[in-house]
């Protein structure tokens, strides 16, 4: 059983889409999705610098479009993966892959999500800090002590604290024992109460979106559950903007389902790395460039 994973914000790097434009059909899809999102996705994925694609309103549509483009190359026609999951904004790509929404609906939703989250982040100066290592209970207690939120509980000894920059600075001066802290280059405290205005925006949009029940098994970030209906998944997508991402729970569900391999869509690396540490027996393929497609196809064939 193979899981297809779509990464979240922060995974993007300058030029990561360049090699994918050589694959027939990809440039055409990106041109169409550029019209849908109102962004020049080809430019942002090829020649834009790191600061430009750090912008939440750009990064989120760019990541979802890249994942969907690579998915369509890997699974042509009516083929679908066994299990699908996305990390944070990657859930929008996962929803389209699973057939819950159309690619265009996913991109409109992520366009508005990115804009709303960028606006919410501009209200108060906030940020995120990765906590690597340490005892989980001690890390969570330290995060709570400083009035921060464990915005991403990623498993494999990685938790991301989020909140006001003053609180993050105090946290850096008083870190949990045996833990390393790394400030993240993001625009704000995503998946915390600071994103409540963005949730309100998406709540107003959600009733107009046509949804269907997922085809493959579809995991959700709130608790790692397999979600059975499209309506339920869409509701969870909206609320997840201000709620912590429990990727650790998603990996727990992968284990319970008997997943034997994971393929991470571009810009790949982060989620496969977490799986390597948390689920070392899983076969892993990172789709960084089209050169990795044959490895991914071999893994899919072996998983049948």
Domain containing residue 51: CATH number: 3.40.366.10
Boundary-marking domain end, from 136, 160, 183: 183
**CATH number of the domain bearing residue 151:** 3.30.70.250
Query: What's the burial of 246, exposed, middle or buried (CB within 10 Å: 0-12/13-18/19+)?
Result: buried
- Nearest CA among 200, 194, 197, 196 for reference residue 168: 194
Q: Are residues 48 and 171 in the same domain?
A: no
Q: Are residues 170 and 218 in the same domain?
A: no
- Nearest CA among 61, 53, 172, 75 for reference residue 106: 61
Catalytic hit among 88, 105, 146, 242: 88
- How many angstroms separate the Cα of 258 from the Cα of each of 145, 215, 254, 269, 297? 37, 18, 6, 22, 19
Q: Are residues 115 and 135 in the same domain?
A: no
- Tell me the per-residue pLDDT of 61-74, one tens digit each, with 9 for 90 and over: 999 999 999 999 99
Q: Are residues 35 and 170 in the same domain?
A: no
Q: Is residue 304 part of a domain?
A: no
Boundary-marking domain end, from 153, 183, 213: 183
Sign of CA dihedral 297, 13, 236, 206: negative
Boundary-marking domain end, from 155, 183, 211: 183
Q: Are residues 18 and 114 in the same domain?
A: yes
Q: Are residues 167 and 291 in the same domain?
A: no
Q: Are residues 108 and 209 in the same domain?
A: yes
Say how many domains are in the chain.
Answer: 2
The structure's pTM equals: 0.93
Please compute the mean of the pLDDT values over residues 170-197 and round it to a whole number. Answer: 92
Q: Are residues 256 and 179 in the same domain?
A: no
Q: Is residue 102 part of a domain?
A: yes
Q: Are residues 271 and 150 in the same domain?
A: no
**What pLDDT sits at residue 79?**
84
- Tell me the per-residue pLDDT of 75-99, one tens digit each, with 9 for 90 and over: 988 888 999 999 999 999 999 999 9
- Tell me the per-residue pLDDT of 12-43, one tens digit each, with 9 for 90 and over: 999 999 999 999 999 999 999 999 999 999 99
Taking the C-alpha atoms of residue 13 and residue 3, their distance in angstroms, rounded to an integer, is: 23
Q: Is residue 284 part of a domain?
A: yes
Q: Is residue 233 part of a domain?
A: yes
Q: Is residue 232 part of a domain?
A: yes
Cβ–Cβ < 8 Å for 219, 83 = yes
- How many angstroms separate the Cα of 231 from the Cα of each of 4, 224, 267? 21, 17, 28
Residue 144's domain spans which residues?
Answer: 124-183
Q: What is the mean pLDDT of the chain?
A: 95
Q: Are residues 9 and 80 in the same domain?
A: yes
Long-range CB pairs of 118-123, under 8 A, 24+ apart, other chains included: 118/55, 118/56, 118/57, 118/187, 118/188, 119/197, 119/198, 120/188, 120/194, 120/195, 120/196, 120/197, 120/198, 121/56, 121/187, 121/188, 121/189, 121/190, 121/194, 121/195, 122/188, 123/194, 123/197
185 is catalytic: no
Residues 6+ apart with CB under 8 A from 160: 128, 129, 130, 131, 150, 151, 152, 153, 154, 184
Please compute the mean of the pLDDT values over residues 102-121 and round it to a whole number. Answer: 95
Residue % of the chain over a pLDDT of 90: 92
Catalytic hit among 65, 87, 146, 191: 191
Q: Are residues 57 and 164 in the same domain?
A: no
Q: Are residues 128 and 237 in the same domain?
A: no
């Amino acid at each position: 059983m193979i899981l297809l994973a779509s990464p979240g914000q922060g995974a993007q790097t300058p030029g990561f889409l360049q090699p994918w434009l050589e694959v027939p059909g990809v440039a055409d899809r990106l041109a169409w999705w550029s019209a849908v999102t109102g962004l020049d996705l080809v430019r942002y994925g090829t020649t834009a610098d790191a600061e430009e694609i750090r912008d939440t309103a750009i990064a989120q549509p760019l990541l979802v479009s890249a994942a969907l483009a690579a998915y369509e190359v890997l699974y042509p026609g009516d083929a679908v993966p066994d299990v699908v999951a996305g990390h944070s904004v990657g859930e929008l790509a996962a929803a389209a892959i699973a057939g819950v929404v159309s690619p265009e609906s996913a991109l409109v939703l992520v366009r508005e999500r990115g804009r709303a989250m960028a606006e919410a982040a501009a209200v108060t100066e906030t940020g995120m800090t990765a906590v690597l290592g340490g005892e989980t209970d001690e890390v969570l207690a330290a995060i709570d002590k400083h009035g921060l939120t464990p915005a991403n509980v990623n498993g494999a000894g990685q938790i991301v604290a989020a909140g006001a920059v003053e609180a993050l600075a105090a946290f850096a001066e008083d870190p949990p024992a045996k833990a390393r802290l790394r400030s993240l280059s993001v625009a704000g405290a995503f998946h915390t109460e600071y994103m409540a205005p963005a949730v309100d925006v998406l709540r107003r949009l959600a009733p107009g979106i046509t949804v269907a029940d997922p085809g493959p098994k579809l995991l959700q970030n709130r608790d790692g559950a397999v979600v059975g209906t499209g309506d339920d998944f869409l509701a969870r997508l909206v609320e997840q903007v201000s709620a912590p991402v429990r990727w650790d729970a998603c990996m727990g569900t992968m284990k319970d389902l008997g997943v034997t391999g994971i393929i991470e869509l571009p810009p790949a690396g982060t989620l496969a790395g977490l799986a390597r540490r948390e689920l070392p027996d899983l076969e892993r393929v990172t789709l960084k460039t089209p050169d990795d497609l044959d490895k991914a196809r071999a893994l899919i064939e072996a998983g049948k």
